[in-house]
Amino acid sequence: MKIKRLLKDRRGFTIMEAVIAIALLLIVTGAFLTTCIVASNLQRRSSDTLAAGNIASEFVSAYNNAQTDGADGEETHDFLYYLSVSLGFDVSGIDDGPDHTVEYGGSTLTLTMEENTRTYEYNTGNIRIEAVISSNESSEGIVVNGYVNGFSSAVFTYEGGAQ
């Protein structure tokens, strides 16, 4: 009898119950969307860090190859040749002056020279690579720092050559 009476009762939800249900749905949806956004940002930063590491290793590899092949005293030219092959654009004119910039698509490579130090800065998207090649009487080598937007400092440092 009681069940029959409950089935005939057609009052439905009150406005308060509907508002509480919608509020709970919004809270759960907001938490889910926040999680998705955070995961997406972490994935992008991780991807950028990996790409920056790969580009930086190309700088060290180009340096090591130039040192191996550079017995003719053309280490700078050889370094730029190997770098152009790995980065995929022509950097042949960059060694003509002390300060020079080459652009290709959305990427730029800048060379700054001071006494016994050559500094290369490579920018593409969210990635910035800074490679410093120094040579003096006591040591010669390369130090490469990789920076990614969103991080406050270098995400890695690679060193090559005789430091």
Distance, CA of 86 to CA of 62 (rounded, Å)? 8
C-alpha–C-alpha distance, residues 71 and 90, integer Å? 23
pLDDT digits (tens, 9 = 90+) for 112-138: 888 888 888 999 889 999 999 887 766
pLDDT tens-digit profile of 139-149? 678 889 999 98
Instruction: Please give the residue that has the higher pLDDT: either 63 or 161.
Output: 63
Given a cut of 60, is residue 95 above it in pLDDT?
A: no
Determine the pLDDT at residue 135: 78
Percent of the chain with pLDDT strictly greater than 70: 80
pLDDT band of residue 163 (cuts 50, 70, 90) is very low
What are residue 147's DSSP bridge partners? 128
Q: What is the pTM of this model?
A: 0.72
What pLDDT was estimated at residue 128? 92
H-helix or E-strand spanning residue 14: none
Structure-model confidence comparison of residues 99 and 142, the more confident one: 142
Q: What is the DSSP string of 79-147?
A: HHHHHHHHHTS--GGGGGSSEEEEEETTEEEEEEEETTEEEEEEEETTEEEEEEEEE-SS-EEEEEEEE
